[in-house]
Amino acid sequence: MDLIDTIRPLAKKTDSKILMVVLDGVGGLPLTVNGDTELATAQTPNLDALARESQLGLVELVGAGITPGSGPGHLSLFGYDPLKYVVGRGALSAVGIGVKLRAGDVAVRGNFASLGKNRIIADRRAGRPSNEKNAEVVAKLRAAIPEIDGTPVEIYTESEHRFVVVFRGQGLDEAGQGLGANISDVDPQVTGVPPRVAEGHDPASERTARLVNAFVARAEAALADEPQVNGVLFRGYSDVPHFPSFEDIYQLRAACIASYPMYKGLASLVGMDVLEVEGEEDALEGKVAALEKSWDNYDFFYWHVKKTDSTGEDGDFFAKVKKIELFDALLPQLRALQPDVLCIVGDHSTPSKLASHSWHPVPLLIQSRYGRKDLAGRYTEEEAGKGSLGLRRGTDVMPLLMANALKLQKYGA
Amino acid sequence: MDLIDTIRPLAKKTDSKILMVVLDGVGGLPLTVNGDTELATAQTPNLDALARESQLGLVELVGAGITPGSGPGHLSLFGYDPLKYVVGRGALSAVGIGVKLRAGDVAVRGNFASLGKNRIIADRRAGRPSNEKNAEVVAKLRAAIPEIDGTPVEIYTESEHRFVVVFRGQGLDEAGQGLGANISDVDPQVTGVPPRVAEGHDPASERTARLVNAFVARAEAALADEPQVNGVLFRGYSDVPHFPSFEDIYQLRAACIASYPMYKGLASLVGMDVLEVEGEEDALEGKVAALEKSWDNYDFFYWHVKKTDSTGEDGDFFAKVKKIELFDALLPQLRALQPDVLCIVGDHSTPSKLASHSWHPVPLLIQSRYGRKDLAGRYTEEEAGKGSLGLRRGTDVMPLLMANALKLQKYGA
């Protein structure tokens, strides 16, 4: 049963405001048995004070033992069951580099490959070229393949051997059918054989398959003089995901305040307005300024901090501690806006010890006028485990925020 | 949504090893209000030390208030939703007495009954005969009905009025269709009427129904001189359950170390290798030896202790305490193997106070390198309730073990 179907008819518009702060990858692990995590090590007087007047708990974003990617982690926080609402690989790549997809478009994940005699694949990653080399090859392809049979083609560097192609099928035909994404892979996933010919499994996807096969041929011609990066492989075709919008489900005018393309893309997939943020990289002060400036215009703000994750991914325990403390320092500016409901949560854990995302539950904090006494004294994994909200699925977060904002009607009479 | 469908594409093969110790029926109840359970009463220095460096929680194997049988309890621990993966009553009885079913066979649960004039059922349990009487009657039936129309028939004592018949349909016809299990009951479930005639609901099951009806007639003839045990009733027909295998789902080479037929049967249903154990009854030392001997050959071990359940079933609180202490004494031998992930759990509670299985959640302990600080200081029901793993469904256990063994890839990008 999709929780959204239960929530939607109960949601009502009110003047109350919800601020959801997502500290990316904030959950951690101790470096030694029974030691302190990054959150427990950090000096966080402002978070501590907030925790003492809030409800705490722990959330699993996808399920027990499942390590969420950023897409599923965020969708879960936004109330979309990540096992049901799946963003295809091609679309997520496009979203991740800031490319907006429209109905009728298809995004495809590509790998550069090294082809030998008779187009036999020698290396499925073309020797892992540098990002600079990737950009150089992409520039060649852009010049050689601006369109195919009237369909605009966009080509983007992702990283190393990875690139993204967007076929702009929007409004191509009078019926408005555009392009389909139900296509077989060009990438055979092994070396020693030539690339496969893509086949479409329905009429709209047959059109896409013709474009894909033409792209492969024209790319090989354009890269014929390259010693190593001389072929392309495709898998992961996606059309634009059709998710019910935030406004449709929750009756919320929602805004996204984030710096990195992936998060802005995910927020726009669910229909949030993506606000302008001044400043480089995480730009926390710019994000505070954006929030203050737009405070009167929205009911819901998704406010994202990236560096808590990046430092965890780098395996740098104390750098992550420092980023948590940086957020703590500006928390008073967020509280000064007096949101009716303030939520602090992560989209997954990223323990420095693992230097990667992990399956461990993430602390959840909800402050509102309607909380009970709570045993958790800090926003840490250990303290949150004592909290009154218990251990929950990530999709419970939005209903709890809506309820605490008095934006949900009674279910049944 | 079946969790298995989520886990399967994420599972990867690695060198890490998982040891799952199932203390059968280990959860208990205090004898008096606010008293100590069997686990809390036991002196368990080794379990206590392990608990202090582990994650704890509580698991419900089937659902709130549901008392699991051994089959559903174990299937849940193995990651198979016991509400979806159902082992039929006939198959479970066959498994429980160590009979291996093959595709095409059908196992049927039988009850001995007392029939009066005109085959009217006077007692649906034939006065609850002793196991010895049951065996005597089964011997008569074996002599009278070794086969029916070329189909081999096997008859086994279960207990009291209960017996099991296996019709060996494997390879019976050239099409290899064997026997079906979609048949109506012979047992009318009331007295004062005669047994019903079985009907098959598809061609393969019609063949089985003919065998069942012939069996009923020939059994009554063979038992005509018995004063009380003179009829048979059938319900619960099962063919062999087709579950996805442990190796298919988890990429694990898995071994079962258990002494009793039911547990070996359940493990082999999910595709585990069942290892030889030396010794009588629970044979804990033999089970340690089997584990040590095969340690290098598998990625996953299911290691079963039976007596924690049997003593609970006997209603003997202090005998159960003693069995827990016996396990505690050999825990160091298990830890000496240094599994990457060590799990201690039960398949259900068996409080001595109830002298039966119960619905109460069971303590779960997981030790790995990737645990957080945990407030639980002992492997007891009360302490596990403070643990960081929270209260969970039994089907969460395998994903958590896989995650802690770093055998699950990230879900989504």
pLDDT tens digits, B216-270: 999 999 999 999 999 999 988 998 888 999 999 999 999 999 998 889 989 988 9
Extended beta strands in B61-105, E state: none
Interval B188-193 mean pLDDT: 95
Any CB–CB contact under 8 A between A96 and chain B?
yes
Q: Which of A37, A65, A381 sits opposite B403 (nearest CB)?
A: A65
Contacts of B53 in chain A (CB under 8 A): 33-34
**pLDDT tens figures, A211-235:** 999 999 999 999 999 999 999 999 8
Q: Which of A62, A89, A381 sits opposite B372 (nearest CB)?
A: A381
Which of the four pLDDT bands, split at 50, 70 and 90, describes residue B89?
A: confident
- What pLDDT was estimated at residue B97? 84
Of A109, A108, A139, A130, the C-alpha closest to A228 is: A130
**DSSP H helix total and E strand total for chain B:** 14, 14
Any CB–CB contact under 8 A between B218 and chain A?
no
- What pLDDT was estimated at residue B261? 86
Q: pLDDT above 90 covers what percent of chain A?
A: 84
**pLDDT tens figures, B5-27:** 999 999 999 999 999 999 999 99
Of B383, B308, B306, the C-alpha closest to B352 is: B308
Interval A199-204 mean pLDDT: 92
φ/ψ of B180, rounded to 5, equals -105, 165
The distance of A75 to chain B (nearest Cα, Å) reads 11
B373/A35 touch (CB, cutoff 8 Å), yes or no: yes
**pLDDT tens figures, A356-378:** 999 999 999 999 999 999 999 99
Chains A & B: contacts with CB separation below 8 Å: 104
- What pLDDT was estimated at residue B103? 83
Which sign, positive or negative, has the C-alpha torsion B78, B82, B88, B90? Answer: positive
Which of the four pLDDT bands, split at 50, 70 and 90, describes residue A100?
A: confident
Contacts of A87 in chain B (CB under 8 A): 412
Kindly give the residue spans of alpha helices, DSSP state H, lying in A154-258.
203-222, 246-250
Kindly give the residue spans of alpha helices, DSSP state H, lying in B223-260.
246-250
Res A171 pLDDT > 80: no
Contacts of A72 in chain B (CB under 8 A): 411-412
The distance of B260 to chain A (nearest Cα, Å) reads 31
Mean pLDDT of chain B: 94
Cβ neighbours, 10 Å, residue B15: 9
Contacts of A29 in chain B (CB under 8 A): 370-372
Report d(CA A392, CA A79) in Å as an integer: 13
A64/B410 touch (CB, cutoff 8 Å), yes or no: no
A92/B399 touch (CB, cutoff 8 Å), yes or no: no
Q: Which of A69, A354, A360 sits opposite B411 (nearest CB)?
A: A69
Name which of A22-36, A155-169, A300-314 the model is least confident about: A155-169
- What pLDDT was estimated at residue A175? 58
- What pLDDT was estimated at residue B90? 85
Quote ipTM for the complex.
0.88
Of A180, A183, A157, the C-alpha closest to A240 is: A180
- What pLDDT was estimated at residue A289? 98
Interval A264-288 mean pLDDT: 93
**pLDDT tens figures, A229-252:** 999 999 889 888 889 999 999 999
Res A120 pLDDT > 70: yes
- Domains of chain A are 3-87+244-404 (3.40.720.10), 93-239 (3.30.70)
Which of the four pLDDT bands, split at 50, 70 and 90, describes residue B1?
A: low
Structure-block tokens of residue A126: 């073309």
Contacts of B7 in chain A (CB under 8 A): 65-66
The distance of B95 to chain A (nearest Cα, Å) reads 30
- What pLDDT was estimated at residue A214? 97
Structure-block tokens of residue B233: 């009733």
**pLDDT tens figures, A322-361:** 999 999 999 999 999 999 999 999 999 999 999 999 999 9
Report d(CA B101, CA B254) in Å as an integer: 20
Residue of A nearest to B371 (CA): A29
B403/A359 touch (CB, cutoff 8 Å), yes or no: yes
Report d(CA A241, CA A222) in Å as an integer: 32
Report d(CA B220, CA B111) in Å as an integer: 13
Determine which of A29, A33, A77, A262 to mutate to test the interface with B (most B C-beta atoms within 10 Å).
A33
Q: Which of A83, A382, A390 sits opposite B390 (nearest CB)?
A: A390
Is-contact A164 A107, C-beta < 8 A?
A: yes
- What pLDDT was estimated at residue A386? 93
Read off the pTM.
0.89
Res B172 pLDDT > 70: no
- What pLDDT was estimated at residue A37? 98
Report d(CA A289, CA A142) in Å as an integer: 38
Res A174 pLDDT > 70: no
Q: Tell me which amino acid residue B266 is.
A: L
Residue-wise burial string across A189-198, b where 16 or more C-beta atoms lie within 10 A, e elsewhere: eeeeeebbeb
**pLDDT tens figures, B346-356:** 999 999 999 99
A96/B370 touch (CB, cutoff 8 Å), yes or no: no
Name which of A235-239, B368-372, B383-387 the model is least confident about: A235-239
A83/B390 touch (CB, cutoff 8 Å), yes or no: no
B6/A70 touch (CB, cutoff 8 Å), yes or no: no
A58/B390 touch (CB, cutoff 8 Å), yes or no: yes
Res B296 pLDDT > 60: yes
Which of the four pLDDT bands, split at 50, 70 and 90, describes residue A262?
A: confident
Interval B91-110 mean pLDDT: 87
Q: Which long-range contacts (CB under 8 A, 24 or more apart) does A200-204 make?
A: A203/A177, A204/A177, A204/A178, A204/A179, A204/A180
Higher local confidence (pLDDT), A95 or B206:
B206
A64/B399 touch (CB, cutoff 8 Å), yes or no: yes
Which sign, positive or negative, has the C-alpha torsion A398, A402, A404, A405? Answer: positive
Window 31-70 of A: residues touching B by CB (8 A cutoff) are: 33-37, 40, 58, 62-70
**pLDDT tens figures, B312-343:** 999 999 999 999 999 999 999 999 999 999 99
Determine which of B343, B373, B388 to mutate to test the interface with A (most A C-beta atoms within 10 Å).
B373
Q: Which of A33, A69, A86 sits opposite B410 (nearest CB)?
A: A69
Res B173 pLDDT > 70: no
Of B259, B280, B261, the C-alpha closest to B269 is: B261
Res A173 pLDDT > 60: no
Report d(CA A143, CA A223) in Å as an integer: 12
- What pLDDT was estimated at residue A102? 83
Residue of B nearest to A385 (CA): B388
- What pLDDT was estimated at residue B320? 98
Residue of B nearest to A87 (CA): B412
As a dihedral over the C-alpha atoms of residue B221, residue B223, residue B229, residue B233, rounded to 10 degrees, the angle is: -40
Contacts of A58 in chain B (CB under 8 A): 390
Measuring CA to CA, how many Å separate A115 from each of A7, A31, A196, A222? 53, 45, 13, 13
- What pLDDT was estimated at residue A248? 95
